[in-house]
Amino acid sequence: MTSHTRLQRLLEKHETKKELGRSSVRNKLLENNAYKNAQYTSGDLSKYAQLKKKGLNDLDLYRKLYKHRYSKKNVLGKIDCYCEKNIFDKFDYIQNLSERMNIDKKRLKSFFFKKYGSVLIIISLVLLLGIIYPILRYSDLGLILPFIIIEML
């Protein structure tokens, strides 16, 4: 006695293709909505918060397919994917922290600048130094920037 039933394996590729199809169908349904021109109160929400509210969407699928995309990249692509994952994890951490502590937008900004403000200031100073150095170096030649001409005496 043998059974001729065949068990179907769920492969991740098929599952993600199905999810991608669902999100495209959802987008088509939303585009054909009669109320698409109506204004909602979500205008004051950030894009990240709007994406979090939609449920299964392109951002979620993008993050789900991280391992599949990561395995097919070269060295620089893997570094890019790794940094991208860290950034999204930080966004999630800040979002979860604000939800747990019931932090409003003003307090969240102050928390963010206390934690990451020094890094942002250092990066901006390095970039500013990259602009100032060529100005000081080429000012004796009479050319600071292409659109500023200094007359040589």
Question: Rounded to whole angstroms, how far apart are CA atoms 91 and 93?
Answer: 5
More confident residue, 33 or 69: 69
Q: Both 124 and 98 in a single domain?
A: no
| Range(s) of the domain holding residue 122 | 117-153
Q: Is residue 79 part of a domain?
A: yes
For residues 94 and 142, state if they share a domain. no
Mean pLDDT across the chain: 68
The total number of structural domains in the chain stands at 2
Same domain (yes/no): 17, 85: yes
Residues in the chain: 153
The string over 32-51, giving b where at least 16 C-beta atoms fall within 10 Å of a residue's C-beta and e elsewhere, is eeeeeeeeeeeeeeeeeeee
Please tell me whether residues 97 and 151 are part of one structural domain.
no
CB 61 within 8 A of CB 16: yes
- Listed in sequence order, the residues at least 6 apart from 145 whose beta carbon sits closer than 8 Å to its beta carbon are 135
The pTM (predicted TM-score) of the whole model is 0.35
Task: Say if residue 104's pLDDT is above 60.
Answer: yes
Please indicate, yes or no, whether residues 137 and 96 belong to a single structural domain of this protein. Answer: no
Q: What is the pLDDT of residues 42-99, one digit of tens each?
A: 455 565 666 555 555 566 677 777 777 777 778 887 888 788 888 888 888 877 877 7
CA distances (Å), origin 58, targets 26, 37, 40: 11, 22, 21
The token pair that represents 24 in the structure block: 């495209």
φ/ψ of residue 143, rounded to 5: -120, 115
Whether residue 124 sits in one domain with residue 94: no
Q: Confirm whether 77 is domain-assigned.
A: yes
Q: Are residues 76 and 125 in the same domain?
A: no
Instruction: Report pLDDT digits (tens) over 8-19.
Output: 555 555 444 555
Residue 52: predicted pLDDT: 58
Residue 58 lies in a domain: yes
**Are 98 and 124 members of one domain?**
no
